[in-house]
Structure 1
Amino acid sequence: MSQVLELREKRAKAWGAAKAFLDTKRTDKGFVSAEDAATYEKMENDVMNLGKEIDRLERQAVIDAELAKATSIPITNKPNGSVDGETKQGRASDAYKRAFWDSMRKKNFYDVQNALTIGTDSEGGYLVPDEYEKKLMEALEDEVFFRNLATVIHTSGGDRKIPIVTSKGSAQWIDENGQFPDSDDAFGQTSIGAYKLATMIKVSDELLNDSVFNVETYISKEFGRRIGTKEEEAFFVGDGTGKPTGLFHETNGADTGVTAATTAITFDDVMDLYYSLRVPYRNKASWLLNDSTVKAIRKLKDGNGNYIWQPSVREGEPDRILNRPYRTSIFVPEIAAGNRVMAFGDYSYYWIADRQGRSFKRLNELFATTGQVGFLASERVDGKLILSEAIKTLDIKGTKTGA
């Protein structure tokens, strides 16, 4: 039995013991003493720490599997030819990849102009090679789990118009030889564009000239970390001004499914949110919430006295609320008056538009006095919920602090 599976079973037993302890220590009025509450908090923290250790071991397993891959493959094709006999063209070619990274490493590298002409953009930078762009996307997806839930499309330029059915026609009962009813679908449209997200990375001359230092890996991971964090924030709470519109935003975000009367979320609130979503969306739905909200929900029970939060005991499966998986993010608002604190729905109806062509630009002189070289990295992306009824939120009644 793997260590991860053992920890999952240990966590499930610890959670069961914590629930049983809380049940036995409640008074007739439903309260627990301060001493018992402290003991329960410690038991609950042990469950959470086990969950974090499981996450760490799963990440280690992914890294071990990656490092265990073969570093080379046998040559079975003719020299200078691909496996299928076709030569890669444009930004996917080996020549362009070599030229791109030579230009990133060296200040005056003039032998690459012919190759890099393919990737020159209007801002004077060079478009990232195709293979490396996939590496960047992998880094972004690792930082931003929401990309794996949403629908990602690629645009070549300008706004993209998306047709939407705003209302559907219906059938009617008619008499023999009666007139067929005229009932057409109504269509609308929304547009999705591209906002620019940028960052600057500085690398010392020594590292660039050090053949041991893998500048490609460093820039990939650092770009993914910085861009990924800002993407996730915008996809959740962005206001649509100079950035994508987040699904938790009051305008053009998800529909309100339930409004809680107080900041103490109840089982009924969670159940009402669950059933506020129509069945076709509910079949693929999952929860989105903050860690602090998960902690509050851990103590809720259904009508049969069963806790609605259930730990996963199988590898690769997330923990669940009302038997549906959930994901957490620090950018989902915490429980407070006026906040939208929880979402439930099918997030494939949130579309992320990548304007293909992430670009790097090397700055040779700006940081020369400090022995560093700057790299400008940018992408153009937009995000928008295409069908608001596909996701419902739990809102807390009241006015936001400072609003």
Structure 2
Amino acid sequence: MTEQTKNIAANRSALEIKTVPDTVTGAFDDFMGAFEAFKDVNDRRLGEIESKLTADVVTRDKMDRINRAVDEHKQVLDQLLLKKARPPLGRPGFGSSGSPEHKAAFEAYIRGGDEASLRDLEAKALSVGSDGDGGYLVPPEIDSEIGRRLAVISPVRALATVRQVSSSVLKKPFNTTGLASGWVSETAARPQTSTPTLSNMIFPTMELYAMPAATQALLDDSAVDIEAWISSEVDVVFAEQESAAFVSGDGVNKPKGFLSYTAVADATWSWGNLGYVATGAAGAFKPVGPTDVLVDTIYALKASRRQNGNFMMNRRTQAALRKFKDADGNYLWQPPAVAGATASLMGFPVAEAENMPDIAADAFPIAFGDFRAGYLVVDRVGIRVLRDPYSAKPHVLFYTTKRVGGGVQDFEAIKLVKFSAA
């Protein structure tokens, strides 16, 4: 078999996912093989552009197919990592201090509606978690399980600062201007310096809900892990709603996403707005020095914020950036070094957020910043479950709610890339 034939066979295998690997290592190897095939074809495309000023149609089509295959392999890898990140509920020794009693009472409530034990437990604990409208707090191990899964699924939640509160609103003072100081001689007068300016920021929590249903026969089956079922049903819908709201939510009955704040050119930035750097071309990177905008965006952040910087974009934007090289011929986008790590762009981690917009005129498909400093997620402690066996007979509904809010807390810590001429 010639070297050319070997390359063709390798590229062909990279285009298909014939069987889904059942291990993270296997999926990671497939992903890296697809990326190496992508680099080979992209190098050929760039060589054709350099020699003939245009790439061959066959080469372009092949590169697009392999680029899509890289994304597909990455999705398979992400799903396996997500599955691996979900520890089983009810493992031995977990929550041994007082937890088994609450867990047994909660299971009795879920299966048969017996709330006497839960009432006694919450009365003993002087709980403020349930009120007159009914509903009981999920046992702590379920509550934390859902929270861990959301951290994997929602990239903003994983990167942002998360605060838990017991009231419906978090008020956070923020120092927008620091103390003034100055140099004086030994005997000179000491005039009063200006005082810092505090901005009072308000983060209300909004209600996020899901209402899965189960038949009574399912609940009567003691072999069914009801707690795992509630978690698996709720975590996906909660994560999807959260992910969208943290990026582009309008703040009406939902958190306010960072893309919903007013964006201004970074040269004229002021507190309360997010600064952006324009690509120099409407709906595209500029033809000459297309990646200069990424460098400008990185260095638009102060050094203390830049050290913890992350890029955030969707897969389609990553596919466009995957084709770029630096002056030395090195790819700017690099795959994760090991399974479970994240890809990087110009040395900074890349967080995939499918709710980020696609590349288009005047859109903001790329964000860069220290999201832990820049964005705040507010969780009201406790996930509540209200059992309803009456509204949808013969099904039993489980009205599951959580109070969550969010918004930008430091407007200097996040910068955007705008695909526009200016």
Distance 1:154 1:240 in 2: 19
Q: Can you list the C-alpha shifts for 1:70-123, whole angstroms capped at 9, x where unaligned?
A: 95469xxxxxxx97xxx53xxxx4323211220111145656542354453232
Q: CA deviation at 1:238?
A: 0.7
Please point out which of 288, 292, 297 is paired with 2:312: 288
What is the TM-score normalised by the length of structure 1? 0.85
Aligned residues: 380
Q: Can you list the C-alpha shifts for 1:46-77, whole angstroms capped at 9, x where unaligned?
A: 433443344345446556xx57x995469xxx
Please point out which of 140, 144, 157 is paired with 2:150: 140
Return the letter of the residue paired with 1:243: K
Over 3 Å counting, the alpha-carbon distance change for 1:94 and 1:314 in structure 2 is closer
Please tell me whether residue 255 in structure 1 is matched to residue 298 in structure 2.
no
The answer for the alignment partner of 1:128 in structure 2 is 138
Please tell me whether residue 156 in structure 1 is matched to residue 166 in structure 2.
yes
The answer for the alignment partner of 1:362 in structure 2 is 387
* Pairing of 1:3-402 with structure 2 (within 5 A): 3=26, 6-7=29-30, 9-11=32-34, 13-28=36-51, 30-59=53-82, 61-62=84-85, 66=87, 72=92, 88=98, 93-107=99-113, 110=116, 112-117=118-123, 118=127, 120-181=130-191, 182-251=193-262, 255-260=274-279, 261-265=281-285, 266-349=290-373, 350-368=375-393, 371-397=394-420
Distance 2:62 2:319 in 1: 16
Over 3 Å counting, the alpha-carbon distance change for 1:128 and 1:170 in structure 2 is same
Indicate the SS of the match to 2:143: helix
Distance 2:292 2:150 in 1: 37
Structure 1 regions of 5+ residues with no counterpart? Answer: 75-81
Over 3 Å counting, the alpha-carbon distance change for 1:19 and 1:277 in structure 2 is same
Mapped contact 1:354–1:381 kept (Cα < 8 A): yes
Q: CA deviation at 1:293?
A: 1.0
Distance 1:56 1:229 in 2: 15
Indicate the SS of the match to 1:280: helix
What is the TM-score normalised by the length of structure 2? 0.81
Mapped contact 2:284–2:419 kept (Cα < 8 A): no
Over 3 Å counting, the alpha-carbon distance change for 1:115 and 1:195 in structure 2 is same
Say which is worse superposed, 214-223 or 138-147, in terms of deviation: 138-147
Distance 1:357 1:61 in 2: 25
- Seq. identity, %: 26
Say which is worse superposed, 141-150 or 53-62, in terms of deviation: 53-62
Say which is worse superposed, 1-10 or 303-312, in terms of deviation: 1-10
Structure 2 regions of 5+ residues with no counterpart? Answer: 1-23, 264-271
Q: Can you list the C-alpha shifts for 1:368-400, whole angstroms capped at 9, x where unaligned?
A: 2xx11111010111101100110101123389x
Q: CA deviation at 1:19?
A: 3.4
Q: CA deviation at 1:271?
A: 1.9
Over 3 Å counting, the alpha-carbon distance change for 1:169 and 1:59 in structure 2 is closer
Indicate the SS of the match to 1:397: coil
RMSD (Å), alpha carbons: 2.9
